[in-house]
Chains A and B, each alone.
Chain A
Amino acid sequence: MIGQKINNRYNYNSHSNIFKKNSRSNAGNSNTLHKNNQINFPTKSSSSSFNNDQVTFSGGAISSLNKAAPKLNCFERLCSRLAKVGQTKTEAVKFSTGKAMVAPAAIALYPSKTDRASRAYSAALQPVEGAVRFAGFITISFLAGCASGKLAAKGILGKFFTKGSKEVVKKRAEVLKDAVTVGGTLLCVPITSTLVDKAHPKIVPFVMNLFKRQK
């Protein structure tokens, strides 16, 4: 009976948001009362009072969250993830995918007069070239990112890269990193092409033999 009275009181409190915290703390007290006096506590009314509290508090919040982040399908998820990756990395990825996947297929299926063996060799050369250039690009971008980020953070490149809000400083460092990466790759073009020239006579026959064995 005492429990019921207490619950009724707290049901009344639960309708107003202002007394929410008080009702919760008092409800806790009611439980202790119930345990000490060993009275059959009316569970339905008690649960309803707690549920009312929770619904009034969290229902609105959940609905607002649902409005803020709608469910995304596969294509939308891919696009939102690509936005986080950044420009220079996607450039490297698209170069390597183009070289590794599309170019060999285009060379193999292109209707030309050249013989089949030379076409197969040039098709097998593309992924090797792509891999070497991708590795070069990644190392340059990593080194450029580390170097430019550290130099900018220490203020060696001037106050321009340390002044302003955190976001602006970060964006400036990113732009600088992109510029340094592009400059570095342009400078390293002769090195990567010599590497490709040295690598392909060893790797391409091996790749072609692999494909022959599978047949």
Chain B
Amino acid sequence: MSIQFNPVKNYINRAVNDPNFHLKTVIVSSAMIELSQNAMDAHKALKNKKISKDERDYIASYKITNGLLSFASEATIGCVLANDKVQNKLADFCFKRLRSSPETFNKCAQGLKILFSLLVASVFIRRLIVPFISTPLASTVKDKVIEKKPKKEKVNCFA
């Protein structure tokens, strides 16, 4: 039962020493959970025979595009927000007057990091921007990936 794998120990040690690394892993893992849920929904939609095939394909393609886009956007924005330089600039901008007491400043900066990842990465991008992009993209994914419609043959008018 005892953990003897070095990767696990290394990961835990790194996460303890570097809180930004821990934050990044948590953000990426939450995005992965979302992606897996979307994949599961797409799989179920494809198996659901109560609805027509056209609707089934559209729902599956929408779920796939939504999951992939939300994973990509959340992971990138989460990693950007977890970056030291960005964090310092944001914390300086918001809590300039707390610089005199470093303890409270650090606490507030850590809270700000969580708040920004919550508001920007999760709520704003995942729920507002990604559905806005993925809805028109879903039909193209449906045509090209799920149904695999053949390309229109170019007609050579000079032949």
Interface residues of A (CB under 8 A from B): 67-70, 72, 75-76, 78-83, 85, 87-88, 90-91, 93-95, 97-99, 102-103, 106-107, 110, 112, 133, 156-160, 168, 171-172, 175-176, 178-179, 182, 185-186, 189-190, 192-193, 197
Interface set of B (CB-CB < 8 Å, partner A): 1-4, 9, 11-12, 15-16, 22-23, 26, 29-30, 32-33, 36-37, 40-41, 44, 94-95, 97-98, 100-101, 103-104, 107-112, 114-115, 117-118, 122-123, 126-128, 131-132, 135
A192 CB contacts on chain B under 8 angstroms: 37
Q: Which residues of A contact B94 (CB under 8 A)?
A: 75, 79
How many inter-chain residue pairs (CB < 8 Å) link A and B? 126
Q: How far, in whole Å, are A79 and B91 apart by their CA atoms in the complex?
A: 11
Kindly list chain A residues whose C-beta atoms are within 8 Å of the C-beta of B135: 110, 112
Given contacts A79-B108, A102-B128, A179-B11, 6 further A-B contacts (CB under 8 A): A70-B100, A70-B104, A83-B114, A87-B23, A98-B122, A102-B127
Whole-angstrom distance from the CB of B142 to the nearest CB of chain A? Answer: 16
| Chain A residues within an 8 Å CB radius of B95 | 76, 79
Residues in A whose Cβ lies below 8 Å from that of B23: 87
Q: Chain A residues near B29 (CB, 8 Å)?
A: 182
Take A83-B107, A112-B135, A176-B12 as given contacts and tell me if A193 and B40 are in contact as well, using a CB distance cutoff of 8 Å: yes
A178 and B26: CB pair below 8 A? yes
Give the contacting residue for B111; candidates A80, A106, A160, A193; CB below 8 A: A80
Residues of A within 8 A of B115 (CB): 78-79, 82
Q: Whole-angstrom distance from the CB of B122 to the nearest CB of chain A?
A: 4
B44:A82 contact, CB within 8 angstroms:
no
> Do B3 and A80 touch across chains, with their CB atoms under 8 A apart?
no
Asked if A82 contacts B1 (CB within 8 A), the reply is: no
Instruction: List the A side residues contacting B101 at CB < 8 Å.
Output: 67-70
User: Which chain A residues lie closer than 8 Å to B32 at the CB level?
Assistant: 182, 186
